[in-house]
């Protein structure tokens, strides 16, 4: 080892760092004694040593990446967002605030993140709320309401059919009977009166009976005159007959005085009482009423058990007869006789509703 003035700095720094062994140190000390001006330089270099600083880099999170989220931002940005989203607990929030407090750059970034929070503008309102609302029902579900309404409507229709046409048929029958009877009786009476009148008038025209002969019965006191009169002939000889009982089922189409009714089944109360221009028929409403009454009478309604289902069934059948459509409401039973379903059939629609157990 040869220390000279051209390479002494290296040995000087190694000496200050403590890297020289003992023989090298002794040799270096001998060199310094031979060159006293370099001893001051050694002292200066020794005193120029810098102590390590205590300053810390607090923004490491800016450099770090998220370990949990697949998030492109750094750890600081994630913490900012987590703080805003309230995803941090109290301790974490406290640490966060302490970490950014001393760094204005971090505070600025946090404020920018805070500004990304949207606030709803209450002035924006949907103005046409009434167009969205529906009519309220009073606590009863729509389903039940529909069922009850349908049943009530059917019952009302069925009962109205029964009531109206039953009464109507009674009234109509009464009217028919009264009408026919009274009319016929009136007519017969009138005819009788006219005949009597004509007879009387005829009789008035006749000469008083002439006693042609006296039948004398010598032995009798009374004398029986033999009266010869002309044959009494009424002007209009009528064959008076008793009015026959009219049976509605025996109504037939009858041609009366060349007047043909326009109904397919004209209703005429025909008699063998010949009367000019006398005929009786019913109007169109009466025709329909008669048809329905006839239909209802054929159903044997009073004999069946009366319940809601029977009301519905008869009401629908009556409606079907009136509209000349096929409408039926029936029940289906299984092998054990248990009710399984209700079946509704019509010309337009058919459906089957199973009975829930």
Partner 1 sequence: MTSQEYNICVDKYSDNVFRFVLKQIKDEDKAKDIVQDTYEKLWIKASTVSYEKAKSYLFTAAYHTMIDSIRKDKRNTEFEEIHESMFTNDQETPDLKEQLNEALNRLPEIQKSVILLRDYEGYSYSEIGEITNLNEQQVKVYIYRGRLALKKYIGQLETLI
- Shortest distance, CB of residue 137 to partner 1, whole angstroms? 5
Helices (H), the chain: 8-17, 22-34, 37-47, 60-63, 75-84, 90-101, 104-114, 142-205, 284-297, 308-323
Q: Whose structure tokens read 């040593």? A: 49
* 298 SS3 class: coil
- Shortest distance, CB of residue 246 to partner 1, whole angstroms? 60
For residues 20 and 80, which CB has a smaller minimum distance to partner 1 in the complex?
80
- Shortest distance, CB of residue 102 to partner 1, whole angstroms? 21
For residues 69 and 240, which CB has a smaller minimum distance to partner 1 in the complex?
69
> Using CB under 8 A as the criterion, which residues of the chain lie in contact with partner 1 when the complex forms?
69-73, 77-78, 81, 84-85, 109, 112-113, 115-122, 124-126, 128-129, 131-137, 139, 141-143
Tokens representing residue 231 in the block: 């044959």
- Shortest distance, CB of residue 64 to partner 1, whole angstroms? 15
DSSP 138: S
For residues 126 and 351, which CB has a smaller minimum distance to partner 1 in the complex?
126
End-to-end C-alpha distance for the chain, whole angstroms: 114
For residues 49 and 135, which CB has a smaller minimum distance to partner 1 in the complex?
135
Q: Whose structure tokens read 């329905």? A: 292
183 CB-contact burial (10 Å; exposed 0-12 / middle 13-18 / buried 19+): middle
For residues 119 and 348, which CB has a smaller minimum distance to partner 1 in the complex?
119
For residues 70 and 258, which CB has a smaller minimum distance to partner 1 in the complex?
70
Q: At what angle do helices 8-17 and 22-34 cross, to 10 degrees?
A: 130
Question: What does the alpha-carbon distance between residue 258 and residue 242 come to, in Å, rounded to a whole number?
Answer: 25
Contacts 24+ apart (CB under 8 A), 151-159: 151/308, 151/312, 154/311, 154/312, 154/315, 154/316, 155/308, 155/311, 155/312, 155/315, 157/315, 157/319, 158/311, 158/312, 158/314, 158/315, 158/316, 158/318, 159/311, 159/315
- Shortest distance, CB of residue 287 to partner 1, whole angstroms? 47
- Shortest distance, CB of residue 135 to partner 1, whole angstroms? 7
For residues 132 and 284, which CB has a smaller minimum distance to partner 1 in the complex?
132
- Shortest distance, CB of residue 105 to partner 1, whole angstroms? 11
Q: Which residues pair with 65 in a beta bridge?
A: 74
Q: At what angle do helices 22-34 and 37-47 cross, to 10 degrees?
A: 120
- Shortest distance, CB of residue 78 to partner 1, whole angstroms? 7
For residues 146 and 163, which CB has a smaller minimum distance to partner 1 in the complex?
146
């Amino acid at each position: 080892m040869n220390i000279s003035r051209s390479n002494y700095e290296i040995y000087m720094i190694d000496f200050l760092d403590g890297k020289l062994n003992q023989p090298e140190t002794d040799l270096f000390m001998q060199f310094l004694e031979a060159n006293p001006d370099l001893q001051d330089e050694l002292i200066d270099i020794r005193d120029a040593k810098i102590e390590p600083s205590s300053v810390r880099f607090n923004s490491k999170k800016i450099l770090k990446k998220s370990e949990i989220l697949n998030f492109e931002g750094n750890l600081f940005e994630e913490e900012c967002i987590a703080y805003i989203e309230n995803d941090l607990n109290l301790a974490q929030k406290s640490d966060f605030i302490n970490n950014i407090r001393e760094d204005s750059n971090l505070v600025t970034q946090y404020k920018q993140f805070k500004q990304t929070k949207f606030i709803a503008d209450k002035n924006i309102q949907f103005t046409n709320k009434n167009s969205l609302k529906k009519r309220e029902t009073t606590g009863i579900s729509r389903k039940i309401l529909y069922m009850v309404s349908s049943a009530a409507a059917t019952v009302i229709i069925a009962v109205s059919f029964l009531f109206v046409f039953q009464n109507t048929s009674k009234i109509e029958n009464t009217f028919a009977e009264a009408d026919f009877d009274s009319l016929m009786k009136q007519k017969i009476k009138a005819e009788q009166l006219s005949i009597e009148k004509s007879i009387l008038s005829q009789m008035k025209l006749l000469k008083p009976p002439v006693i042609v002969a006296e039948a004398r019965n010598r032995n009798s006191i009374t004398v029986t005159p033999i009266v010869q009169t002309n044959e009494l002939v009424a002007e209009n000889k009528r064959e008076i007959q008793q009015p026959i009982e009219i049976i509605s089922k025996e109504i037939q189409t009858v041609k009366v005085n060349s007047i043909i009714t326009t109904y397919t089944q004209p209703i005429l109360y025909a008699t063998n009482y010949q009367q000019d221009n006398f005929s009786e028929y019913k109007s169109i409403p009466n025709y329909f009423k008669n048809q329905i009454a006839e239909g209802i009478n054929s159903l044997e309604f009073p004999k069946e058990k009366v319940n809601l289902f029977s009301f519905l069934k008869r009401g629908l059948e009556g409606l079907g007869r009136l509209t000349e459509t096929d409408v039926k409401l029936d029940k289906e039973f299984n092998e054990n006789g248990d009710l399984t379903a209700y079946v509704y059939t019509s010309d337009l629609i058919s459906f089957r509703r199973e009975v829930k157990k």
